[in-house]
Amino acid sequence: MEWISYLPSLGRGALVTASITLAAIALGGAAAFVAGIARVEGGRIVATLALCYTELFRGTSLLVQLFWFYYALPLVGISFEPVTTGIVVLALHVGAYGSEIVRGALASVAQQQHEAARALNFGRMQTLLHITLPQALVEMMPAFGNLAIETLKLSSLVSLISIADLTFRAQSIRNLTLDSTTVYTLTLLGYFLMSLVLMGLMRLLERLVRRGAAFPRAAHS
């Protein structure tokens, strides 16, 4: 029953992993909506800037991004704590991939909906908030759920910049005990349980969105 002695340390690491993942999803989701809407509704300059951000973070390695923010950026006088670095880089990653989800969902709204909005004398912002976005949000949710799970799995990379997350603590215990099978089995179970909880939360959010709970005013307008 020696494996029981591993649980407190692994549990603390799991809390760090969960907090980093949730923070990155929240911040990255906001970045995704800003960049995605900018791609569709922004002017040429704004859309180009959003495109550059998206392609930069989708086209480079997340591990290299972590190392650049943690090791290279301080050389020009800008530095963050390891946890802050991990959250920021993961959020930018989520935002880049999520912006494509937002852009695609907005673009999928039928043209007749835009024509109906113009017939009602809606402005661009009114059309976005009351017509386009509520419909597109329903289409985004399954893809955002997958992106959230992927973010949880990718969060293990933050252990490489000295963050004591679940992976970091598992490796530390393994180095002391050489009990690779038990330690990594418990680690796999930890990530699996966290992914189940995260999937449940995302499915609950998806159900709320489908019921119109996220846009109560739009539902009654």
Let me know: does 10 contact 190? Beta carbons within 8 Å.
Answer: yes
Give per-residue pLDDT as tens, 60-99. Answer: 999 999 999 999 998 888 888 999 999 999 999 999 999 9
**Which structure tokens are listed for 121?**
């004398």
Four-CA torsion 33, 36, 39, 43, nearest 10 degrees: -10
Residue 218 pLDDT? 44
Per-residue DSSP letters for 53-111? HHHHHHSS-HHHHHHIIIIIGGGGT----HHHHHHHHHHHHHHHHHHHHHHHHHHHS-H
Residue 137 pLDDT? 84
134 secondary structure, DSSP code: H
In angstroms, the CA 28 to CA 179 distance is 36
Residue 114 pLDDT? 66
- Rounded to two decimals, the pTM is 0.86
Let me know: does 80 contact 92? Beta carbons within 8 Å.
Answer: no
Residue 213 pLDDT? 45
Residue 105 pLDDT? 85
- Give the residues of the chain that fall short of pLDDT 50: 213-214, 218-221
Let me know: does 166 contact 116? Beta carbons within 8 Å.
Answer: no
Domains by residue range for the chain, with CATH? 2-220 (1.10.3720.10)
